Structure 1
Amino acid sequence: MTKLIVAKFGGSAIGIDGISIPLVIDRINDLKKDSKIIAVFSAPLTIQNGKKCSLTDVILEQGRNVESGKKANLDVIKSCYEKIMKFVNSENKEDCQKSIDLFLKKAETALDEALLKKEFANEVRSRSLAFSGEILISHVMNYILRSNGIKSSAVSYDDWPIITDQNIESTNFLASKSRENLGKTAKLVDENEVVVIGGFIGKTPEGVITTYERGGSDRTAADLGILFHKKYETRIDFEKDSSVVSADPKIVESGLTEVDELSYNEARLAGMFGMKILDPIAIKEIVENGVDMPIIVTNMKEPSKNTTIKRVPDSKNGHPIKIVTGKENCAIFKIETNAAQKLLISLEKDKRYSEYIILSPFTKDGVEFSRILFLDADYIKRNEKYFLGFDPLASITYNRGVITLIGDEMWRVQQVASRTSAKIGEVGLNILNMDAQEETSRIIIVIEDSKDSIRKAINVIHQEISKINFI
């Protein structure tokens, strides 16, 4: 069976104003030696007001401007693509410039519509983001690859293979509909060394442009793997600036260890709880579609350093606790257990939302209450009316942070719950809830989200882990 690598290059892989594109080309040349490639690109990074940001953030700011009555200004976007154009040779430069002008005109038209309506939302928002970011960079990267002698083609939005539901701004992948629309993309994969596509973007069966939530390019890569895994020996490759280590290096500065392998479950939990490995919904979609394919997280600058994510890892060597991580800006929703089940069914079927953890219940005045930990308090704030509709007397507690330890075989670690909780107390933090389950090998510690509390807790637990014995 022919090999296929779905390689995802995020904004940091492309670099500020495309500075890392030569490295991207080197990686693609290396990967395509024995495999066909689908290259998924996120929107590039640039500098605005002295700070690094994604072109997605630039457009979102312009969206806020048009809502307040100011005409959009795409100068920052245009400047970024002008700098990226230096990687296009003279033979492809004219066509590439035409593509840039065409797509930025579409983005500008969408922003003008938002200005008239004083509303930057739904399809107008999606079009603005797609035509200035992911779809445009995919076409520009196609010309850059061709300029470097690589036989490549970009997927046209008319033939888009990622078909989604009607949730425009936080859409959901429809695998069966996508398979029906896969023909032209499959033909491109057959005929080329590399096929280029923008991440984050979807399309309803009726042709309305949609977007995943932030981090959605990871989902695009996973979705393409799902669609092609029966025809090709498929793997997904996330090209990043490091492989996976035992904690976020921006939080823990010393004593980090490299993680060679993770299970799907471990990777999903780590992503849910703040590790920027991959979007946890990408793993969820792979599992839901019954697919078993390896995911490689590669240090693009040093490709020999990588982490393999599999349904069941090959090796069980090393410390059973692989990662210590945490999440700020969480919320706890307390609701009568009788009403909780209806909420959970609605979240799954109507919202297709799964970024929550069910904590242990409690009983008060003879009534049992369920506690649901939501890992994105902003989602609750945006949808308070929806949540309280299931139980008007339910309560929401904001300002919560959570720390968790990742390891499917954590049961092999002696005294882990007592020693980690003691260490949190030693640095002056109060544990508000601790949920430990032998069956799921999961420990969740909830504390108040204030100042640097999460950072302090992660550091002290990470330091303690190496001292704890395991079977």
Structure 2
Amino acid sequence: MKVVKFGGSSLADASQIEKVRSIIESDEQRRVVVVSAPGKRFSGDTKVTDLLIALGESIQTGDMDDAIYKQIIDRFRTMAEELNLPLRVAEMVRDKIDEAVKLVEKSSPHALDALKACGEDGSALLVSSYLHSKGSAASYVNPKEAGILVRDQVGGALVLEESFEQLYALRNRNEILVIPGFFGFTPEGQLVTFSRGGSDITGSIVAAGLKADMYENFTDVDSVYCVNPMYVDQPKQLTSLTYREMRELSYAGFSVFHDEALIPAFKEKIPVCIKNTNNPSAPGTMIVADLPERESHVVGIASDEGFLNLYVSKYLMNREVGFGRRLLQILEDEGVSFEHAPSGIDDMSVVLREHHLPPEKEEVVVQRIKEELQVDTVMIERDMAMIMIVGEGMNQTIGIASRAAVAFREADVNIEMINQGSSEVSMMFGVKSSNLSKAVQSLYHTFFE
């Protein structure tokens, strides 16, 4: 059995859904399908999820944007018509959107999650109906029916262990099952979404629960590249990666896969294959538990912007028991999560995503650090970018750090921060966002050319 997940670009319009049908029906092992919301049809287009979020925000301000509502309804209606589906299919999608709109109007606690989930739900209704209309035995399966149970954490649901046992029962159904991604239900029956891009998470959860032989993730690229093609023209394609390598790459900016998605598949040791909906015959990239020995230990260079560095300095900090805990406690109290925390004898840096510390929250955090920790210096540096070199066994390979340092020097880029820590598969560098492109290009030249 294969669990197959299709991303937003694979479901953007009727012609893409026809490709999806062809892929599913070409392999009888593809029995369970997880779908995203319709993505962009062309450059400059808007994803359905973004339209749903904008619609929800307009309702919350007290004046629903009818133009956005019409745009969403028309998008699904047009696809249904072009696929020659019965009128009731588009009406079912509209009814679910209308139900969610009413929840937002009533200011229900989970209303926005319910509205955001309508994109994936609509895709699943279209795909299952289209498969059925073409003669395949296919059914729409709601995540509640499938048994995807999650913790009640709005916009950031976490799967509960009992889900996997309930999902296994789906193996008994002799038809193609189409499940909307991105959301699950609490044991009390409340709809909650995963973090953005969470359809990948659903696919991995379903594959783990069904103990599938493979989890195929169809997107719009032939394979994973060793570096972002935005920075390097025609970069090297990767035919295979380990779970740990892919997770590090995903976390640090590889948009091909959600960084949380591999965990359920990893636990069950289910191989994952990333493939291209527009070129399904391409071999893609295999993600597995272990790989044979490689000639090169560096497999990828990931990068991402939107970070800040919270720098704290205090003389004899290293002798002050509990200093680091109290600093991180302040962040926890203010609802701020951190990414990295390299430290020295008298100073400590905490790397955060910029959106986690807006200016109004920054003022509170800085004031508390000054008053409660009596520091000598507290400083926040925004517009930071993180670059991560990834590869199994790097910490046992002599010269990786020195070669990277030379690459930064040749690019005339100052390293603001470096952190390897206990990770065997990655080494992180912090630079100014304005230097990101030339730093990545130089690193690519050093390790791959």
Q: In the TM superposition, what whole-angstrom CA distance separates every residue of 1:356-377 from its partner, at most 9, and x where no partner exists?
A: 2343x2012xxxx543433x32
Select which of 3, 16, 22 maps to 1:20: 16
Q: 1:401 and 2:385 equivalent?
A: yes
Q: Residue 153 of structure 1 contacts residue 188 of structure 1 at CA under 8 Å; is this kept in 2?
A: no
Q: Residue 272 of structure 2 contacts residue 287 of structure 2 at CA under 8 Å; is this kept in 1?
A: yes
Letter in 2 for 1:30: S
Q: Residue 156 of structure 2 contacts residue 193 of structure 2 at CA under 8 Å; is this kept in 1?
A: yes
Other-structure match for 2:34: 40
Q: Residue 410 of structure 1 contacts residue 442 of structure 1 at CA under 8 Å; is this kept in 2?
A: yes
Residues 341-356 of structure 1: pairs in structure 2 closer than 5 A: 341=325, 356=339
Q: 1:454 and 2:441 equivalent?
A: no
Letter in 2 for 1:165: R
Distance 1:320 1:466 in 2: 11
**Superposed displacement of residue 136, structure 1:** 1.9
Task: Find the residue that maps to 1:296 and give its secondary structure.
Answer: strand
Distance 1:47 1:299 in 2: 16
Q: 1:11 and 2:4 equivalent?
A: no
Task: Find the residue that maps to 2:57 and give its secondary structure.
Answer: helix
Residues 1:264 and 1:125: Cα distance change in structure 2 (over 3 Å): same
Distance 1:46 1:72 in 2: 21
Letter in 1 for 2:340: I
Q: 1:253 and 2:233 equivalent?
A: yes
Q: Residue 267 of structure 1 contacts residue 277 of structure 1 at CA under 8 Å; is this kept in 2?
A: no
Other-structure match for 2:287: 309
Other-structure match for 2:150: 164
Q: Residue 171 of structure 1 contacts residue 211 of structure 1 at CA under 8 Å; is this kept in 2?
A: yes
**Superposed displacement of residue 302, structure 1:** 3.8
What is the Cα-based RMSD across aligned positions, in Å? 3.1
Q: 1:152 and 2:142 equivalent?
A: no
Q: In the TM superposition, what whole-angstrom CA distance separates every residue of 1:127-179 from its partner, at most 9, and x where no partner exists?
A: 11123x11121112110111222111111355252211121121211122x24
Select which of 218, 223, 245 maps to 2:205: 223
Distance 1:163 1:441 in 2: 32
Distance 1:25 1:305 in 2: 19
**Superposed displacement of residue 197, structure 1:** 0.8
Q: 1:320 and 2:297 equivalent?
A: yes
Q: Residue 5 of structure 2 contacts residue 200 of structure 2 at CA under 8 Å; is this kept in 1?
A: yes
**Superposed displacement of residue 408, structure 1:** 0.9
Q: 1:357 and 2:340 equivalent?
A: yes
Q: Give the TM-score normalised by the residue count of structure 1.
A: 0.82
Residues 1:460 and 1:385: Cα distance change in structure 2 (over 3 Å): same
**Superposed displacement of residue 430, structure 1:** 1.6
Distance 1:237 1:107 in 2: 31
Task: Find the residue that maps to 2:412 and give its secondary structure.
Answer: coil
Q: In the TM superposition, what whole-angstrom CA distance separates every residue of 1:100-141 from its partner, at most 9, and x where no partner exists?
A: 232122133234334xxxxxx84110111123x111211121
Q: 1:332 and 2:304 equivalent?
A: no
Distance 1:299 1:157 in 2: 25
Distance 1:389 1:165 in 2: 33
Identity of aligned residues (%): 20
**Superposed displacement of residue 97, structure 1:** 3.0
**Superposed displacement of residue 396, structure 1:** 4.5
Letter in 1 for 2:124: S
**Superposed displacement of residue 387, structure 1:** 7.0
Residues 64-463 of structure 1: pairs in structure 2 closer than 5 A: 64-73=57-66, 74-89=69-84, 93-114=86-107, 122-131=109-118, 133-156=119-142, 158-176=144-162, 178-179=163-164, 182=166, 188-229=170-211, 233-242=212-221, 243-254=223-234, 256-287=235-266, 290-300=267-277, 301-313=279-291, 315-334=292-311, 338-341=322-325, 356-359=339-342, 361-364=343-346, 369-374=347-352, 376-381=353-358, 392-393=372-373, 396-411=380-395, 415-436=399-420, 440-450=424-434, 453-463=435-445
Distance 1:210 1:386 in 2: 30
Q: How many pairs align? A: 430
Q: Residue 200 of structure 2 contacts residue 258 of structure 2 at CA under 8 Å; is this kept in 1?
A: yes
Q: Residue 244 of structure 2 contacts residue 425 of structure 2 at CA under 8 Å; is this kept in 1?
A: no
Task: Find the residue that maps to 2:383 and give its secondary structure.
Answer: strand
Q: In the TM superposition, what whole-angstrom CA distance separates every residue of 1:288-343 from its partner, at most 9, and x where no partner exists?
A: xx321111111221433311111212x33343211112110112345678244478
In structure 1, the gaps of 5 or more residues are: 115-120
Q: Residue 204 of structure 2 contacts residue 264 of structure 2 at CA under 8 Å; is this kept in 1?
A: yes
Q: Residue 182 of structure 2 contacts residue 193 of structure 2 at CA under 8 Å; is this kept in 1?
A: yes
Q: Residue 66 of structure 1 contacts residue 111 of structure 1 at CA under 8 Å; is this kept in 2?
A: yes
Q: Residue 155 of structure 1 contacts residue 197 of structure 1 at CA under 8 Å; is this kept in 2?
A: yes
Distance 1:239 1:318 in 2: 29
Q: Residue 329 of structure 1 contacts residue 400 of structure 1 at CA under 8 Å; is this kept in 2?
A: yes
Letter in 2 for 1:85: A
Q: Residue 324 of structure 1 contacts residue 405 of structure 1 at CA under 8 Å; is this kept in 2?
A: yes
Q: Which runs of 4+ in 1 moved over 6 A?
A: 342-348, 350-353, 385-390
Residues 1:389 and 1:122: Cα distance change in structure 2 (over 3 Å): farther
In structure 2, the gaps of 5 or more residues are: none
Q: Give the TM-score normalised by the residue count of structure 2.
A: 0.85
Q: In the TM superposition, what whole-angstrom CA distance separates every residue of 1:31-70 from its partner, at most 9, and x where no partner exists?
A: 3x2x25221111102569x822211101111222223322
Distance 1:440 1:27 in 2: 37
**Superposed displacement of residue 25, structure 1:** 1.0
Distance 1:371 1:386 in 2: 18
Letter in 2 for 1:155: V
Residues 1:139 and 1:385: Cα distance change in structure 2 (over 3 Å): farther
